[in-house]
Structure 1
Amino acid sequence: MKHKLLGFGLILSLSACSNINQIDAKSANVSSPDWQAVPLPAKLAEAYQWQPVGFISDDFNYEQKNKAFYQKWYDNHIRGWKGPGATYFSADHSFIQNGQLVLTAASVPANQQGKTIDYGNFKTKKTIYTGFVTAKQNIEYPIYVEASLKVSSLALANNFWMLSDDDRNEIDVTETYGDSDKTVTHMSTNYHIFKRDPVTNDYLEDYGHKQQFATTADKAKLNQDFHRFGFFWKSPKYMEFYLDGKLVRTLTDKNDLNDPDGHFMDRGMRIIFDMEDHVWRARKGITPSKAELSDPSKNKMFVDWIRAYKPNL
């Protein structure tokens, strides 16, 4: 039988088949006014009965990065990765303001840039500070997650993504570049299933990298206002991507999803918000200038809220 989600002050006990059922609903941001009036995508709301997931849902209605914030989020990469290319992840470049999580970018002083790194036909030091915020707990399928974002206006990737702790599975709900009229309209979805050395964890091969793009109906610029980016992880072999409640991509083993090892997206993953300077673009000279990095009207990515729900399949 199909059930329609009529509101968000609904069932607070979670599925007994998951460790998620240990969450204290009273302190879990499961029915925040920030999204209470925002319906789930109609396709999903009509197909299943949904239960809120408190440990990842967050309206960021804090005065600062306080104890409540740190109960859910790490303020950097969990193993200290500094970032790709010129990127230098920094806890000093994320903060809470007006009930929103704000990630910023800035130039790294010369005496803090470290050694030059050779990426093959491209060399760089760590010249761009950016914020990086990671969930403390993994999410597991089946689950729907949705975040309200406004991206920066820089030539950086503004990212809402997920990564397994063994670095094998990655889902990019969006990687949006804010520097051009074309890229700033794109919700860029992608996935990666990495083959890694079982001893060193070194990268060996990428079975994925099947990028697709989606836009709003009016091709709105995603740095001008907040938009909702959603991901329904139904099973290891079936996923859906949503933009402002509209289904924009279905990813399955019947189309773009590939894994010769047969595991697909079977691992728990952590949600991540960050900005990155990507090497492949920097090689082409597409990277923010010092003036752009210091411009407060351009150098911020905003997360208004994130919410998550489990379906009764």
Structure 2
Amino acid sequence: MNVEKEINTYQIKQMNWILILICIVNCNMIFAQSSPIFLKGEDPKPENKKWKLIKNMSDEFGGKKIDAKKWQISGQGWIGRAPGLFLAENVKVSDGSLQITTTKMPKKVKKQGKEFTHGGGYVGSRFGMTYGYYECDMKANKTFMSSTFWLINEGKGLEGCDKRTTELDIQECVGQIVNKAEWMKYFDQSMNSNTHSRNIPEGCNYKKGTSKAGGPAGGKVYDDFHVYGVWWKSKEEVLFFLDGKLIKKVAPPSDFNITMYLRMVVETYDWNPVPEDGGMTGTKEERTTTYNWVRSWKLTE
């Protein structure tokens, strides 16, 4: 009996140590989320401020399905750019990540007067924000279709000169380049970022235009995960970060001061057409864009 008691005591101690280790790991994970991902010396925040996580625009994707309170997956009125149709079944949460898989549909689908042959996916935040830091840990798919992370305003409820479009592209890339134009030469191995101003109402004193940013990813965008981030600092200044390092600072073409919403979209581009073989010859993993997490932050005193 004494031997059995000793064995049981030993097992209990072992279990306690395992629980302690699990707690340490979880605590470290929580600590890692106390601020955005920056390399040493790259955090741009002022000394008298700190980063606060905005939970309704952040997700670690640890559940079994998309959090419908935070995200919408039907396109919010946008069905996709032909020939790529947004399909809800192409979006799922699995293995601690958000996954959007590209597909070739068994037959053509006609919607809104256009023909669709391929399936993509759309995830949009239900909540919006203005100035802050937005980042994701993403691995691109290996197809001609896109892998993206960006923000855009919504026209609903806006009036007058605010009924314009501001768009902040943090990362948009493709895994297979079909268009041989010089400007697309590195679109599968770089962070491609933009600020856009368009759809200016008549009589409003805003400029239409684009400010470009970005830099090399150090390899193909589908080879590994990268942290793509942006500090939307003010209406006049936007800073882009790749893997925690400042890549470029730009001034938007017009005031960036309207609430914008996060978008994670896999779509087709009319300037990178479907290849002759249909573009879906890879494995499911190769055809999937994966987001390990998405985080939004705001500066507080």
TM-score, L = length of structure 2: 0.76
Cα 1:45/1:111, change in 2 over 3 Å: closer
What corresponds to 1:161 in structure 2? 150
Residue of structure 1 in register with 2:249 after alignment: 250
Q: Any idea what SS the aligned residue of 1:292 has?
A: coil
Q: Counterpart of 1:107 in 2: which secondary structure?
A: strand
Counterpart for residue 117 of structure 2: 127
* Cross-structure match for 1:292: 280
Residue in structure 1 matching 2:74, options 73, 76, 80: 76
Q: Does 1:138 align with 2:135?
A: no
Alignment correspondent of 2:24: none
| Cα RMSD, aligned residues only | 2.7
Matched, 1:109 2:106: yes
C-alpha displacement at 1:275, in angstroms?
1.0
For the structure 1 residues 247 and 53, does the alpha-carbon distance in structure 2 shift closer, same or farther, using more than 3 Å as the test?
Answer: same
Q: Which residue of 2 aligns with 1:14?
A: none
- 1:40 paired to 2:37: yes
- Pair 56,209 (structure 1): closer, same or farther in 2 beyond 3 Å: same
* Residues 1:183 and 2:183 are matched in the alignment: no
1-structure distance, mates of 2:118, 2:276? 9
The match for 2:137 among 118, 132, 148 is: 148
Query: Quick check: 161-170 or 293-302, which moved more?
Result: 293-302
Q: Give me the whole-angstrom Cα distance separating, in 2, the residues matched to 1:34 and 1:157.
A: 32
Instruction: Give the conservation status (yes or no) of the 8 Å contact 1:195–1:206.
Output: no
Overall identity of the aligned pairs, in %: 21
Aligned partners of 1:155 and 1:288 also within 8 Å = no
State the match for 1:279 in structure 2. 270
For residues 100-121 of structure 1, the C-alpha deviation after alignment (integer angstroms, 9 at most, x for no partner) is: 000011112325344764xxxx
Residue range with higher mean Cα deviation, 43-52 or 85-94: 43-52
Instruction: Measure the CA separation in 2 of the matches of 1:210 and 1:239.
Output: 10
Residue 190 of structure 1, CA deviation: 0.8
Counterpart AA for 1:49: K
The match for 1:99 is 96
- 1:94-139 deviation digits (Å, cap 9, x = unpaired): 001101000011112325344764xxxxxxx211111100001012
1:115-173 per-residue CA deviation (whole Å, 9 max, x = no partner) reads 764xxxxxxx21111110000101221x1111000000011121101110026111100
Paired residue secondary structure (1:92):
helix
C-alpha spacing 1:170/1:37, structure 2 compared with 1 (3 Å): closer
Which deviations, in whole Å up to 9, do the C-alpha atoms of 1:166-203 show, x marking residues without a partner?
Answer: 261111001111115932211100121112457xxxxx
Q: Secondary structure at the match of 2:285?
A: coil
The CA deviation at 1:215 is: 1.5
Equivalent residue pairs, number? 253
User: Residue 298 of structure 1: CA displacement?
Assistant: 2.1
Q: Does 1:59 align with 2:50?
A: no
Give the alignment partner of residue 294 of structure 2, picking from 275, 282, 306. Answer: 306
CA contact (8 A) 2:52 2:299 kept: yes
Structure 1 stretches lacking a partner, 5+ long: 1-30, 118-124, 199-204
Q: Aligned partner of 2:299: which letter?
A: P
Say which SS state the counterpart of residue 69 (structure 2) adopts.
Answer: helix
More strand by share: 2
Matching residue's letter, 1:230: G
CA-CA distance at 1:81 after TM superposition: 1.3
Distance 1:273 1:74 in 2: 10
> Structure 1 258/46 Cα, relative in aligned 2: closer, same or farther at 3 Å?
closer
Cα distance in 2 for residues equivalent to 1:291 and 1:71: 34
Provide the rounded CA distance (Å) in 2 between the counterparts of 1:53 and 1:269.
14
Residue 223 of structure 2 corresponds to 224
Contact 2:108–2:117 (Cα < 8 Å) also in 1: no
> Greater CA deviation, 242-251 or 207-216?
207-216
Three-state SS of the structure 2 residue aligned to 1:298 is coil
Residue by residue, what CA displacement relative to the aligned partner does 1:209-247 show, whole Å, maximum 9, x if unpaired? 33333113xx12221111100010111111111000010
